[in-house]
Each structure stands twice: as structure tokens, then as C-alpha cells.
Homo-oligomer: A and B are copies of this chain.
């Protein structure tokens, strides 16, 4: 039994290329006392992973060259020398992009495949859902009746953010690319409106949908969209900086928001977030998200691709706009 792993071969400049990664076969060592062996089933693919490839100071160490690519994943324990984690248990944790992983359980928690399909634990019941939940409610300080704009709205985090805001009786407008995604936001997820950044006049649409300004802008994209939102803030607006996917593969400097002085005009704030800060409240949030899912108030969509050997081309779908909802890679053969 060998373990197929994706390792980081070379730090990319701009968009990762084939030679960024290496697919290797490695042996699975014998279990030590306290360890257990997980067969990984689904791997979470996230825009943040692009940042982990850069050798710069950030909220987390960069992935080292020749190390297994970092990723969240869910799998089944197939062997154990750990009393708390038994063979047959399903767990979520930082498995990395590989088929098997041995761990002492630090940072892992059990998940129940009878309560929700396994891939959902990488999406709405995983870091994606947590990011959306704490981002909009805590960092965005969402209040009932707020007007909310979400970029990357058909994506993993954005789609959950918008739905939570609808549950909280807010007016929600999403920005997404193409008619299919925009229709999905309105018809499937109950958004009040959608702006198609590929075909609409974004500024004009924002003006139309926010006659009194935006109370909360949840930004996953950065660049021109951030500037457009800054140009239409309501008094005391909150901008949540969750990500800036438009800038992650830049080979030149990041585009700073030239409309940032709107923060002054509107007495607004722009605040960055990292989901790990809310770890002590994950359980509470998971319960609430689970309840909303079971009540049909919250929908989860996973876009699942097959095969660890397809990691690279699947990963690129994060940036090409080709996928809808949460991008997941099935690595169990």
C-alpha cells in the first residue's frame, strides 16, 4: 500500500503551473503508540492555499519545498494506536493533499457521515462555513435589515455569507461571473439580486441596488470590485476583508483600493479576518449551521472532482471561475 502525495516542488510566480507540484508515491510508516492512520476521502480546495505557497510573512507558515501540500480533508481511520480515535471513526483535519496520513490527532475532530454527506464537512460544515459565519456575523457585525453586498457570491464562502444574511432578514446582493451563477444566487439561494461582473456595469448596478448605500460589503475578490463597493458605502459601513482572489496570482504589486478615503467620508471600517481566531466557537457555529441546513434555510453546493493526479488542474478552477460552490477533490480511489 503506497501513499500518493502532492508535494510543493517550486514556488510559483503568478498562477501555479504543472511544475509547481509533484505527485509522488511514498511508503506508509508503521504506527507509533498514540498515532492513527487516516485514509483521506475528500480534500478541501481553497483560494487561501495560493497564499500558503508564497515565502512571505503571513498568518500561517508557508508550505515548505518538498513538503506535502497543506489542505483540510476528511477521511476514515483505518488503523489506530490512539484511545480517543478508533478505527472506523471519520475525522476532519489538516490532512494535506495525500491519500493517507498518520497523526496523533492534534487539530482533528470527529465527524458523523450519518448527519451530513462527508464532502459537506469540507464546505459548509468545515472552514468554509466557519469563515462565512464568523466573517459576516462577528467581523461584519451584521444587523437585521442591513443591506449586504457579497463578492465571489457563488463561491464556497460567499454563497454561505449571502444565505446567512438572508436568514437575518437583510437585503442581499451577490456579485458573480455569468448568467448561470447569477440565476443560481437568486433562484436557488434566495439572494435579492445578483450582479454579473462579466456583463453588467458593476458601478451602475451597485448604485441601483443600494440607493441608500451598502451597510456590509463582504469581500473575497479585491481589486476593482472593492473599489466599486467603497464608492457606495452607507454611513458606518463595515467591509470584511476575507480574501482578494483577484490579486493572489499577481506578478506585480497588489492593487490597493484607491477609494479607501470613503472610509473617512462614511465613517466606515475595513477589517481583515482569519477564521482560525474563532476556533473556540467552531462547535457552536457548526450546530447553528447544521440546524439551518436541516431546516432547509441553508443550502450547500459542492463541486467535486476526482483523483489526486488531477489536483493541479482542479486547483486552477479556483481562479478561472469555472466551478460553483465549494471545490472538493476526491482522493480515495
Which residues of chain B have C-beta atoms less than 8 A from A198's C-beta?
none
Which residues of chain B have C-beta atoms less than 8 A from A243's C-beta?
264
Give A260's nearest chain B residue, CB to CB: B256
> Told that A222-B261, A241-B263, A253-B258 touch, could you supply 13 new A-B pairs with CB distance under 8 A?
A58-B265, A59-B265, A227-B256, A256-B256, A256-B257, A257-B257, A263-B272, A265-B274, A266-B272, A267-B272, A267-B273, A268-B271, A269-B270
In Å, the complex CA distance between A317 and B28 comes to 72
Which residues of chain B have C-beta atoms less than 8 A from A294's C-beta?
none
Give A247's nearest chain B residue, CB to CB: B261
Contact pick for A264, options B257, B263, B273, CB 8 Å: B273
| A251 CB → nearest B CB, Å | 14
Copies in the complex: 2
| A159 CB → nearest B CB, Å | 20
Which residues of chain B have C-beta atoms less than 8 A from A201's C-beta?
none
Check A244 for interface membership: any CB of B closer than 8 A: yes
Which residues of chain B have C-beta atoms less than 8 A from A26's C-beta?
none
Which residues of chain B have C-beta atoms less than 8 A from A257's C-beta?
256-257, 260
Q: Is the CB of B270 within 8 A of A274?
A: no
Which residues of chain B have C-beta atoms less than 8 A from A244's C-beta?
261, 264
Which residues of chain B have C-beta atoms less than 8 A from A273's C-beta?
264, 267
Q: Is the CB of B264 within 8 A of A260?
A: no
Contact pick for A277, options B256, B267, B271, CB 8 Å: B267
A residues at B contact (CB < 8 Å): 57-59, 222, 227, 241-244, 247, 253-274, 277
Can you give 16 A-B contacts (C-beta < 8 A)?
Answer: A59-B266, A241-B263, A241-B264, A256-B260, A257-B260, A260-B260, A263-B271, A264-B272, A265-B274, A266-B272, A267-B271, A267-B272, A267-B277, A268-B271, A269-B272, A270-B271
Q: Is the CB of B269 within 8 A of A262?
A: no
| A64 CB → nearest B CB, Å | 19
Contact pick for A256, options B258, B268, B274, CB 8 Å: B258
| A310 CB → nearest B CB, Å | 29
In Å, the complex CA distance between A246 and B207 comes to 29
In Å, the complex CA distance between A253 and B241 comes to 22
In Å, the complex CA distance between A263 and B222 comes to 13
Closest 8 CB pairs of A and B: A256-B256, A263-B272, A264-B272, A256-B258, A269-B271, A256-B257, A254-B258, A270-B270
| A67 CB → nearest B CB, Å | 21
In Å, the complex CA distance between A241 and B262 comes to 10
Give A261's nearest chain B residue, CB to CB: B244
Which residues of chain B have C-beta atoms less than 8 A from A258's C-beta?
253-256
Which residues of chain B have C-beta atoms less than 8 A from A254's C-beta?
258-261
Which residues of chain B have C-beta atoms less than 8 A from A263's C-beta?
241, 270-272
Best-buried of A222, A227, A255, A269 by chain B (most CB within 10 Å): A269
In Å, the complex CA distance between A269 and B139 comes to 10
Which residues of chain B have C-beta atoms less than 8 A from A268's C-beta?
271-272
In Å, the complex CA distance between A266 and B270 comes to 13
Which residues of chain B have C-beta atoms less than 8 A from A259's C-beta?
254, 256
Give A271's nearest chain B residue, CB to CB: B269
